[in-house]
Amino acid sequence: MQASRDINALLAIMAALRTPVTGCPWDLEQTFDSIVPYTIEEAYEVADAVQRGDRLDLADELGDLLLQVVFHARMAEEEKSFDFGDVVHAVTSKLIRRHPHVFGDARDLSPDEVKTLWAAIKAREKADRRAARAASGLPEEADAKGVLSGVPTPLPGLTRAMKLQAKASTVGFDWNDARLVLDKIREETAEIEQALDHGADKATVAGEIGDLLFAVVNLARHVDADPEAAVRVTNAKFERRFAHIEASLAARGAEIGSASLADMDALWNEAKSLED
């Protein structure tokens, strides 16, 4: 085997890894369920490479993510469910179907008209999928008819919250002003304070914090900000500023564990001023 730019080479390598007796013991023992955490992890590593602006790393991480697709497709082929060709056919068919303004007759549409058309096409796809499942004797998908259906449970909490809110907004269940969401955030903050004042148990306080986070996600959605991306930026900022605290204390010959909160806070503000 040699490295190649041909997708068929990757498919052949995956087949070899999954071949009983001569293949890789680790790859052979994997299942759809056992591979899912790696698939999610690789998607996050792609996002991290994008966030860092590291294009060399991005090419590598995209390869790892593609491997996950090939891995799932190979296992499906082994059980005769579908193969990699079916995966490619499904996505190319979907892209052509959902872009009649590019590949069909619906030309010269505005961005808003494209969104409306996209929603109508997805609704038809859902109906067709339900009909196909019924014709095949398959059970109906859970909550397939609800407005909030189709939002995968394994998504990161903030992302899933945003998608649920966006679906609810399609039927008018939404605020029309970001400032009204701010009022909701203040309300949720007050409820957390009240829970703490009354000595509420951990589960109750956690529930109130969840409500606050949900409201903050709603605010992010109203100002067209991705909450996951926003918190990643803040995480990186926190790491930079905390590293400044550690470096500054080390330069003084001091250990961070022995520094006072006031000293660390002053260095934090110093780091913040250097970024401004």
Cα three-residue angle 124-126-131, rounded to 5 degrees? 95
Asked whether residue 172 carries a pLDDT value surpassing 80, the answer given is: yes
Per-residue pLDDT tens digits for 190-240: 999 999 999 999 999 999 999 999 999 999 999 999 999 899 889 999 999
Res. 149: pLDDT tops 90: no
**What value does the mean pLDDT take over residues 123-150?**
78
* Residue 155: CA count within 13 A, CB half-sphere: 13
pTM of full prediction above 0.75: no
User: pLDDT at position 231, please?
Assistant: 92
Question: Looking at per-residue confidence, does 188 or 275 come out higher?
Answer: 188
Q: Among 221, 89, 228, which Cα is nearest to 168's? A: 221
Q: What is the pLDDT of residue 45?
A: 93
- Check pLDDT > 70 for residue 141: no
